[in-house]
């Protein structure tokens, strides 16, 4: 093999180029801390890093969504607590009004307190979040949903439910609309209502009502009619007698799976209507109480008033139960958020580790290669100067 000087030089220069570009690449790696600066250096890792970065960004966004939802749900939770406090106060007032010892004059004062509670309840139902959105308005969050109106309050919102994406495939409601929270509260005991006929002349008072056999109650309406102060008949919607019996004070009357306690002394001809529970607005419930109290204020407290107040207390209890259910659901969502935030934090840490392991430089090995490359480069240079200096012409 003949080796010529120009070949030696070409090969040296080619080698020098390769060594210097390797050195420059290692240097760039050490400067940036990245294992590769273009996807061509590790295409699979570059694609994966891109995918993982997207997943990381998504996870971060889910966490941001969860935090935003948490803020709104905390506002709702707080509003519901205050609503329940107001309802408890209202219930105490109603019990006070129903105690039998209260004077008709005091009823007026209680009525005005109840009216005040009505105002603050409407205010709470119009709670806004930090963005100025009404949280109980459904989708129509830019309009105040509740306004005081005859018979309670009008509702300008809708039944939309706003959701937040807190994880892949997991959305949670970040609020509840006004219809669901305030307007769709069952009356009576939640299954049926008992109301005294306005024309009753006796002192029959409605006591506890229960569903003894849910399977037997099909949702029909009935009337309990007193044929005599101590005898009653139960008529169904077609006026057919479905039950009858002897009345004793405080004794429960049972029919069609229902149990109704009556006390006092009803008069012959008195009747009590039994109907399936319907939905009633919380504000109607409060307004009904206010109206009842106002109608009795300054006059005699009749059994009708007592029955009406007792009915209102039932309705308030329903409202308390209902808002408590809503609040429990809110608590459940807040728990779900806490869980998801914890999961997201772990996931993000793992993703960051994965991304780092894919694209971050292994410093010890990079520094070792740098040293090796430096050694090769200086050895190549020295070898060249030694061999290039060898020439027969020197000896001629």
Partner 1 sequence: MSNLFQINVSAIQALQTAIATTSNNIANANTPGYAKESVDLTTAIPQVHGSTTLGTGVQVTKILRSYSQTAANQLNSSQSNLGQLTSLQTYTNQVDNIVGTTAGGMSAALQSYYAAWSNVANNPTSIATRQAMLGAAQGVASSFQSTSSQLQSLNANINDAITMDVQQINSIGASIAKLNQQIVVGTAQAGGQPPNDLIDQRDQLLSNLSQLVGVTTNTDSNGALNVFVGSGQPLVLQGNVTKLTAVPNPFNASQLEISTATNGSNIISGSITAGDLGGLLAARTQAVDPALNQLGQIATALSQSANAQQNVGMDLTGKLGANLFSVASPLATASANNTDATTATVGIANVGALTANDYLLTYRGGAYSLTNASTGAAIAFTGAGTAASPISADGLSIVLSGTPANGDQFLIQPTAQAAGSFKLALTGPSQIAAAGAIQTAAANANTGSATISAGSVIDATNPSLLATANIQFTSPTTYSVNGAGSYAYTPGANINLNGWQVQISGAPAAGDAFTVQSNAGGAGDNRNALASANSQTRGVLAGGTISVNAAVSAMITGFGSQAQQVNNAQSAQTAVNAQALQSVQSVSGVNLNEEAANLLQWQQAFQASAQALTIGNNMFTSLMSALSNGIL
- Would you tell me which residues interact with partner 1 (CB under 8 A)? 1-7, 10-11, 14, 38-44, 46-51, 53-54, 57-58, 60-61, 64-65, 68-69, 131-134, 137-143, 158-165, 168, 171, 179, 183-184, 219, 276-279, 281, 390-393, 396
Rounded to the nearest angstrom, the gap between the alpha carbon of residue 91 and the centroid of all alpha carbons in its chain is 27
Burial, 60: exposed, middle or buried (Cβ in 10 Å; 0-12, 13-18, 19+)? middle
Specify which residues 244 forms β-bridges with: 233
First to last CA, the chain: 25
Minimum Å distance from CB 201 to partner 1? 32
Instruction: Report the SS3 class of residue 134.
Output: strand
For residue 116, give Cα distances in angstroms to 87, 119, 141.
12, 5, 25
Minimum Å distance from CB 240 to partner 1? 20
Nearer to partner 1, 99 or 154 (CB): 154
Look-up of token digits 């109980």: 136
Minimum Å distance from CB 207 to partner 1? 25
Nearer to partner 1, 42 or 210 (CB): 42
**∠ CA 46-50-52, rounded to 5°:** 115
Nearer to partner 1, 224 or 355 (CB): 355
Sheet holding 241-246, edge to edge: 192-196, 271-276, 222-228, 231-236, 241-246
Minimum Å distance from CB 375 to partner 1? 22
Cβ atoms of 312 and 289 within 8 Å: the answer is yes
Instruction: Report the SS3 class of residue 119.
Output: helix
Minimum Å distance from CB 89 to partner 1? 26
Helix or strand (DSSP H, E) at 2: none
Minimum Å distance from CB 178 to partner 1? 10
Rounded to the nearest angstrom, the gap between the alpha carbon of residue 358 and the centroid of all alpha carbons in its chain is 39
Structure tokens at 301: 């407290």
Nearer to partner 1, 301 or 334 (CB): 334
Nearer to partner 1, 17 or 99 (CB): 17
Nearer to partner 1, 227 or 352 (CB): 352
Cα–Cα distance for residue pair 140/121, rounded to 1 Å: 20
- Residue 390 gets which letter from DSSP? -
Report helix, strand and coil shares of the chain as percent, to nearest 5.
55, 20, 25
Nearer to partner 1, 94 or 344 (CB): 344
Minimum Å distance from CB 334 to partner 1? 16
Cα–Cα distance for residue pair 324/7, rounded to 1 Å: 91
Nearer to partner 1, 309 or 330 (CB): 330
| Residues 6 or more apart in contact with residue 137 via CB below 8 angstroms | 143, 144, 145, 156, 157, 158, 177, 178
Nearer to partner 1, 36 or 247 (CB): 36
Minimum Å distance from CB 18 to partner 1? 9
- The CB density around residue 283, as the number of other CB atoms within 10 Å, is 24
Minimum Å distance from CB 158 to partner 1? 5
Largest CA distance in the chain: 152
Minimum Å distance from CB 213 to partner 1? 19
């Amino acid at each position: 093999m003949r080796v010529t000087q120009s070949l030696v030089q070409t090969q040296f220069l080619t080698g020098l180029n390769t060594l210097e570009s390797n050195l420059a690449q290692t240097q760039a790696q050490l400067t940036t801390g990245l294992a590769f600066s273009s996807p061509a250096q590790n295409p699979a890792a570059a694609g994966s890093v891109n995918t993982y970065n997207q997943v990381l960004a998504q996870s971060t966004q889910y966490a941001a969504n969860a935090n935003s939802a948490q803020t709104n749900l905390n506002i709702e939770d707080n509003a519901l607590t205050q609503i329940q406090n107001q309802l408890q106060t209202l219930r105490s007032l109603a019990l006070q009004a129903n105690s039998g010892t209260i004077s008709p004059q005091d009823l007026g004062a209680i009525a005005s307190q109840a009216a005040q509670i009505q105002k603050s309840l409407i205010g709470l139902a119009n709670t806004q979040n930090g963005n100025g959105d009404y949280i109980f308005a459904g989708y129509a969050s830019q309009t105040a949903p509740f306004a005081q109106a005859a018979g309670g309050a009008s509702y300008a919102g809708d039944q939309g439910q706003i959701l937040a994406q807190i994880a892949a495939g997991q959305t949670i409601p970040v609020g509840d609309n006004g219809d669901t929270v305030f307007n769709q509260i069952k009356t009576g005991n939640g299954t049926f209502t008992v109301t005294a006929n306005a024309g009753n002349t006796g002192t029959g008072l409605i006591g506890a009502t229960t569903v003894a056999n849910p399977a037997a109650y099909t949702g029909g309406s009935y009337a309990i009619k007193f044929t005599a102060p101590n005898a009653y008949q139960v008529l169904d919607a077609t006026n057919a007698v479905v039950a009858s019996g002897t009345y004793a004070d405080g004794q429960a009357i049972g029919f069609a799976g229902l149990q109704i306690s009556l006390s006092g002394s009803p008069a012959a001809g008195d009747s009590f209507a039994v109907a399936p529970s319907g939905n009633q607005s919380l504000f109607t419930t409060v307004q009904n109480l206010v109206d009842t109290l106002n109608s009795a204020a300054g006059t005699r407290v009749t059994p009708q008033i007592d029955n009406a107040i007792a009915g209102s207390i039932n309705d308030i209890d329903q409202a308390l139960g209902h808002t408590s259910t809503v609040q429990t659901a809110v608590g459940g969502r807040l728990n779900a958020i806490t869980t998801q935030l914890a999961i997201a934090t772990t996931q993000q840490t793992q993703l960051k580790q994965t991304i780092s392991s894919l694209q971050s430089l292994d410093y010890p090995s990079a520094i070792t290669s740098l040293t090796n490359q430096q050694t090769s480069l200086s050895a190549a240079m020295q070898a060249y100067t030694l061999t290039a200096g060898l020439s027969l012409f020197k000896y001629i």
